[in-house]
Chain A
Amino acid sequence: MTVPVAEPTAEPVPGAPLLEVTDLTTHFATPGGIVRAVDGVSLTLERGKTLGIVGESGSGKTVLSRSIMGLLPKRGTIRGGSVRFDGVELMTRSPKEMRDFWGARMAMIFQDPMTSLNPVMKIGKQITESIRHHLDVDREYATELAVNLLRSVRIPEPERRLRDYPHQLSGGMRQRVCIAVALACGPALLFADEPTTALDVTVQAQVLDLMAAQQRERFMAIVLITHDLGVVAGRADEIAVMYAGRIVEKAPTSVLFTQTRMPYTKALLSSIPKLEHPSHSRLATIPGRPPNLVAPPAGCKFAPRCAQAQPRCLEEDPPLVPGVVPGHEYRCWFPVGTPEGDDALARNQAAGTTAIAGGAA
């Protein structure tokens, strides 16, 4: 069915990528100091493609998505850099102008569908609210749109569901409703912030499939944020791995898995349990904890936990350098799969310790 599209407030630049983030920084002023949640992130996304952003909690991935959308509260937040959507610079837009973007041109779904829906408002209302705000349609048409949306996200008996409250639906259905709400006005970009973390494994696949189907139908770009590499493995065209507020490796999906360069990415990959492993094998974990974002250590931020860290890693912060395949970038002095990296690992293993005196392991 054709979905009406909202009028843009600023003229899109033809030929520009859908989303272009350049050196985005987001710092929070807190009583304990300035927290550098996002510390210089750049990425691009084209229509119809999926970008996966992977990281532990505290890596800054959630802050990143909200910062790009501009949803963070103004007080205590310091943003820098540039975010261009369809060529239009978002950082300089007023909240009123941003409201025309939100819902209509870019949308977000959150981790916990129970708390993302208003518990005392009917489902139908939550969907039509967005429609009636952005599109100039009357109530009957909006309701009809809502029914169609619910049908397209595979919710049975959509007319009845309009009158239900969120708690009357199961977790999986609620997340579908959230998807329906997000897609109501036909946005070109969808942020999915841990969309399946709060769901049963069986339901996870359904929801992800649903999102993929909608993406094909609408030629929509998706930013899929998760801590679970398994989720993005089959779904994303490109994956960016975040650590301590920065992107430490970015590559097209297959390249990331086959030509992993950054040790952190490697460690994440190894920690995925595989069916082939014999039973009772110990799960590989990454020792240590993410760094303090107020006073991050000098040098590479991952060094304290890295198996192949060398003295240089503690002193100098590695920049993003391109890899062999175009579109592959990583941030490491002694990357995995290179002679220098293998040497570094061997040296550490022989010495029985990493570069950090006392070892973080």
Chain B
Amino acid sequence: MAALRLIARRFLQLAVVLLLVTFFTFSLVRLLPGDPAKTIIPFGSDQQRAALAKDLGLDKPFLQQYVNYLGIPVIKSEGTTGLLQGNLGRKYSTNQPVGELIKQSLPVSIQLVIYAQLVALALAIPLGVLTAYRAGTRTDRAVNTTAFGFLALPNFVLALLLSYVIGARLKWLPTAGYEPGWLDPLFDSARTPSVEHLKYMVLPVITLAVGQVAIYMRLLRSDMIATLQENFITMAKAKGVPNRRILFRHALRPSSLTLLTVAGLNVGTLIGGAIVVEVIFGIPGMGTQIATAIAAREYVELQSYIFVLAFIFVLINFVVDFCYILLDPRIRRARADA
């Protein structure tokens, strides 16, 4: 079936991209001028560096190192485990397996991003529909100007603003800290969810969502304006269908395709991309982990984080493509016709 072939092809393309990402992060440390061990621990002693070099196999040829890193069976050196065996390395200073750290921090980021997307969509969809329906009127211009303003507001500025006004001055909500939510126990059974979870998430979620609302609203507005000019909308009008029904039942569905795709893909990008927001609000998610790892020059740890982020992104991409290919009745039919 042609759809299967398409899916397989997509899978291959994405797998290649993921592989190249690992190659890139791996090479970054190894290929820069200077001694890699010195880059990783610039302030350590010579013995520490020698031990590290042996540990990471820095004495072996580059390609051999890479193969070991990946952990391709048969080709890799004896006794080493690589990425494909699930070895994500260890944090140098505490010797904790990076997998553990990810288990603790990933669900935090995921929840943050999902909440933000839901809030953003809940606001963007009605606003997008409204401004498309009233395109060119004062309402439209007012909403659009506001959105334009929010687009120009960097998320760290908004984060600090909210932190100051609502957190420090009005003291309605905490400005830093975290309590586990519904997703955490799934990753780490030691955590128990708490209602306080939401209190800590409100400000960061608002910060992230606001930036997204402006983008999503405009995206939907564009698409809806185009759809509203289609013949079938005039046809629906000529049937006497009331305007609200036309907007939400007829026009919204065909126009929302791009928006939903983008929202889905954004989940992937934001999990790591919300770094600043996490850092400012003290949310212990992937972003904070990455920031700390970089500050502490834990490059092995960083490598794994980047891999996991890229993996999630690629995975989401693949799922989105999968849905596209399978669910769009027109694509299926076109292939069947051909």
Contacts and interface: CB of A to CB of B under 8 A. Distances in A.
A binds B: yes
Interface of A: 66, 69, 71, 75, 95, 99-104, 107-108, 110-112, 115-121, 129-130, 133-134, 165, 167-168, 178, 181-182, 184-185
Nearest to B242: A99
B338 to A, nearest CB: 14
B79 interface: no
B169 interface: no
Contact of A181 (B136, B235, B237, B250): B235
Given A75-B136, A133-B241, A133-B242, A118 B234 contact: no
B329 A167 contact: yes
Given A115-B230, A120-B253, A165-B329, A99 B240 contact: yes
Contact of B238 (A71, A120, A133, A167): A71
Contacts of A66: 234
Contact of A71 (B232, B237, B329): B237
Contacts of B237: 71, 102
B236 interface: yes
Nearest to B330: A167
Contacts of A115: 230-232
Which 5 A-B residue pairings sit nearest by Cβ, starting from the closest? A103-B240, A102-B240, A103-B239, A115-B231, A130-B239
Interface string B237-272: 111111100000010011000000000000000000
Given A118-B250, A120-B253, A121-B250, A110 B239 contact: no
Contact of B232 (A116, A130, A134, A168): A116
Contacts of B231: 110-112, 115-116
B5 interface: no
Contacts of B330: 119, 167
Contacts of B335: none
B240 A71 contact: no
B333 interface: yes
A360 B253 CA distance: 50
A99 B238 CA distance: 8
Nearest to B251: A118
Contacts of B242: 99, 133
Contacts of A129: 236, 239, 241
B232 A118 contact: yes
Given A121-B250, A165-B329, A167-B329, A116 B235 contact: yes
A269 B5 CA distance: 55
A98 to B, nearest CB: 8
Given A119-B254, A165-B329, A167-B333, A110 B241 contact: no
Contact of B240 (A101, A117, A168): A101
Interface residues of B, number: 20
A168 B136 CA distance: 37
Contacts of A185: 240
B231 to A, nearest CB: 4
B224 to A, nearest CB: 14
**Could you say which of B237, B329, B333 has the most chain A C-beta atoms within 10 Å of its C-beta?**
B237
A110 B235 contact: yes
20 contacts: A71-B234, A71-B237, A95-B243, A102-B240, A103-B241, A110-B231, A110-B234, A115-B230, A116-B234, A117-B232, A120-B254, A121-B253, A129-B236, A129-B239, A133-B241, A133-B242, A134-B240, A165-B329, A181-B235, A182-B239
A158 B62 CA distance: 69
A344 to B, nearest CB: 43
Nearest to A101: B240
Contacts of A101: 240
A129 B250 CA distance: 11
Contacts of A165: 329
A3 to B, nearest CB: 15
Given A116-B234, A129-B236, A134-B240, 20 more contacts: A75-B136, A101-B240, A103-B241, A107-B238, A107-B239, A108-B235, A108-B238, A116-B235, A117-B232, A117-B235, A118-B232, A118-B250, A118-B254, A120-B254, A121-B250, A129-B239, A133-B241, A178-B235, A182-B238, A182-B239
A104 B239 CA distance: 7
B239 A102 contact: yes
Given A110-B234, A121-B250, A181 B239 contact: yes
A99 B240 CA distance: 4
Contacts of B235: 108, 110, 116-117, 178, 181
A100 B235 CA distance: 15
B131 to A, nearest CB: 15
B253 to A, nearest CB: 5
Nearest to B233: A118
A273 B240 CA distance: 40
A120 B230 CA distance: 13
A66 B250 CA distance: 20
A149 to B, nearest CB: 13
Contacts of B236: 118, 129
Contacts of A104: 240
A130 B238 CA distance: 10
Nearest to B137: A75
B176 to A, nearest CB: 46
